[in-house]
């Protein structure tokens, strides 16, 4: 079952501000300031490479015996459900494949380590129910 990430309003604002900033830089370039062109290219590249793909490509998949976490084009984790120790709500602001502050903290074991993963599924309770159902199997 696939769960899209919840997206906070602040993330939309950030994306709009960076996109608008890019437009302002390009406008400045066309008014004769070549330094602004480079700044516009830098901001535009950041927007295209990180922010926009994050909005469209962050999701969580509960499939067979795995929890698969996808974010942007760069983050992909495949966690065996049997290794999940706990799932609980959190507002932890740590960097994570989550674009909302309404998050879940998933603790799981990997080798001899205990790992924490923070995610933000849109349908949080449905995600928890589905995951716990798979954990009991």
CB-CB contact of 57 with 72 (8 Å): yes
Tell me: pLDDT of 52 over 80.
no
Tell me: pLDDT of 47 over 80.
no
CB-CB contact of 53 with 43 (8 Å): no
Domain ranges of the chain: 1-137
Tell me: pLDDT of 59 over 80.
yes
SS3 97: coil
Q: Which of 11, 125, 135, 118 is nearest to 69 (CA)?
A: 118
Give the model's confidence band at 9: pLDDT under 50 very low, under 70 low, under 90 confident, else very high. confident
Q: Domain 1-137 classified CATH 2.30.29.30? A: yes
Q: What is the pLDDT of residues 83-128, one digit of tens each?
A: 999 999 998 887 777 788 899 999 999 999 999 999 999 999 999 9
pTM: 0.77
């Amino acid at each position: 079952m696939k769960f899209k990430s919840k997206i906070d309003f602040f993330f939309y604002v950030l994306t709009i501000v960076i996109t608008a900033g890019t437009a302002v830089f390009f406008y400045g370039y066309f008014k004769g300031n070549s330094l602004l062109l480079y700044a516009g290219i830098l901001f535009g590249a950041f927007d295209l490479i990180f922010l926009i793909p994050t909005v469209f490509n962050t999701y969580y998949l509960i499939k067979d015996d795995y929890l698969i976490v996808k974010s942007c084009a760069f983050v992909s984790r495949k966690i065996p459900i049997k290794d999940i120790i706990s799932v609980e709500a959190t507002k932890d602001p740590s960097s994570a494949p989550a674009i909302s502050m309404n998050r879940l903290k998933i603790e799981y074991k990997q080798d001899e380590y205990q790992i924490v993963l923070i995610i933000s599924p849109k349908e949080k309770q449905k995600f928890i129910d589905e995951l716990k159902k798979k954990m009991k199997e």
